[in-house]
Structure 1
């Protein structure tokens, strides 16, 4: 089997899962993105901050360090409020097959990396169904309206980014992003700007680079990820049982009607937002002595759900 057949020639990212997970993905047209605070790497989204602290200590930032640190404070989002969907660069990774294979057949779902995903709204409502005490308290404008609406609807889903594992490369990208931020800060200070769009963009860019940094111990995973944030949480966040208790997660996919306002499509009977078919282009079957049975079952399942154009391949790794 040609390697390109298993990898999609770089146009795909590979989400590994077991049979139960694949069943849910195909039937519900969704993928689960879990809260960053509940993943196996307990330093998820923290390793980048560690590397930033090291770069901070360089003399070239001494004169602006305090002001830059203060400017970045407002961009710190709790890890619990970041949701991560992970994938792999390889569609035939022994590391990933070992992790997901165990006693069952495992699968690598090849997703079109160029199709942007959105977060599924779980409720059609516009206000918290059971607001806690103090939910609507806060500063108000002269008309009596809250300056910050806790039910203001919004979501952000990033594209697929590869993780950076090597320390030298981590320090390099952080230093580059920090230097650009410092330059934008100096320009804004000279212009005496109350608000500087270029400075804002460099702040966002720095945080994006920090989120790509991962401990080198996980390098064999060859991870790419998409990162999602949502507001308000009650409209999007679900919970599932796991080793850490009830784990917050959101559903990613292609929401019908888009991801904003009244254009969203909801079932007449009520329930979460309707979803389009996921951008799945290929599914690889992991190492198993039952390749023919596994392939027949998967092809039949795909046919029943209308995924007639999805290619199916089997791993060539002699692992059992």
Structure 2
């Protein structure tokens, strides 16, 4: 009997949708559950109980936000140098870097700040209640609860892109590791898998809808929910970036580390630090599955592209032998087709 491959998108323990053998299917029971989810994440439900999980469900259903990476098939590539390739293969883990230390200075703030700007400048002006909400959420965005550390593994949909080789692949002398996250997606308690959305084309409708929801909920909740709403904006912010970065075609794995005694990574390696210039950069060596007992981490690697500045003939055998030594079978090792002299 063929066993179905399941893929689940969830917020916490709440199922959003399930995929069986690559196709979304709804039987009668699933249709009943789907109708219940529609009720759980309806506009009325958000106004009645505007907590983060309910609001995230509403945003997913009505604005397709955040963008889950499972919606688009194909390998995702992590560019690195030779030392990075060696460490990833040997350890079965990827380094998730603190978002605050990535190359985009607007990382994590681009969406919240732009949404609040659009709310404040909506046609016809804002009421006193609306301005109070905007100010309250803006202040709450800087609170420790809503601005907890998050860690990111950056990936690209393109495994042979010159700008990526220059920026992240040792200026062409590195490697692009192709991961199949359709079947090797991270466990939801470890990380979430997003496709990055570039620019603010979606923001006006989102800003108007959110402000209207917040005003409606304020009649019951007064100013009690500002941190909850700020936290929600910080969650979805991680899948949005400025249009100027669109060439990267980025997907990302995002995990969180609250520092409040809650440890979702009991079997992972502890938080580590590396130096780069004057910065001490926090990072987490992250596997993609929940490790139990003596399980060794392994990644869903299907392809490795050898950078245009690497001597392919000299390194092909060593890369394939390295993969076999760590039980990675049937991985394609191919050269870059870009003519580039580092």
Residue 75 of structure 2 is aligned to residue 12 of structure 1: yes
TM-score normalized with structure 2 length: 0.64
The question of 1:311 aligning with 2:332 is answered yes
- Alpha-carbon contact 1:44-1:214 (below 8 Å) kept: yes
Unmatched segments (≥5 aa) in structure 1: 1-8, 120-154, 258-263, 268-273
State how 1:219-298 maps to structure 2 within 5 Å: 219-232=246-259, 236-257=270-291, 264-265=292-293, 275-288=296-309, 290-298=311-319
Structure 2 stretches of 5 or more lacking a match? 1-71, 264-269
Is 2:238 aligned against 1:211?
A: yes
- Alignment partner of 1:116 is 2:185: yes
**Cα offset, 1:105, TM superposition:** 3.1
Q: 1:179 aligns to what? A: 208
| CA offsets 1:2-48 (integer angstroms, 9 cap, x no match) | xxxxxxx9422111001100111111111111112222223322333
Checking the alignment, whether the CA contact within 8 Å between 1:13 and 1:111 is kept in structure 2 is yes
User: TM-score by structure 1 length?
Assistant: 0.68
Post-superposition offset of 1:202: 7.2
CA RMSD of aligned residues (A): 3.4
Secondary structure, in 3 states, of the residue corresponding to 1:98?
helix
Q: Name which structure has the greater RCO, CA cutoff 8 Å, separation 6+.
A: 1
The equivalent residue for 1:143 is none
State the shift of 1:93 in Å. Answer: 0.4
Quote the offset at 1:69 in angstroms: 3.9
- For 2:213 and 2:116, locate their aligned partners in 1 and report how far apart those are by CA, in whole Å: 20
Q: How many residues align?
A: 257
Aligned-pair distance for 1:81? 1.4
TM-aligned CA deviation for residue 74 of structure 1: 4.2
* Aligned equivalents of 1:173, 1:11: Cα separation in 2: 25
Do the aligned partners of residues 48 and 76 (structure 1) sit closer, same or farther apart at CA in structure 2, a change above 3 Å counting?
A: same
* Corresponding position: 1:157 with 2:191: yes
Indicate the larger mover: 86-95 or 64-73: 64-73
Residues 181, 206 of structure 1: 8 Å contact kept: no
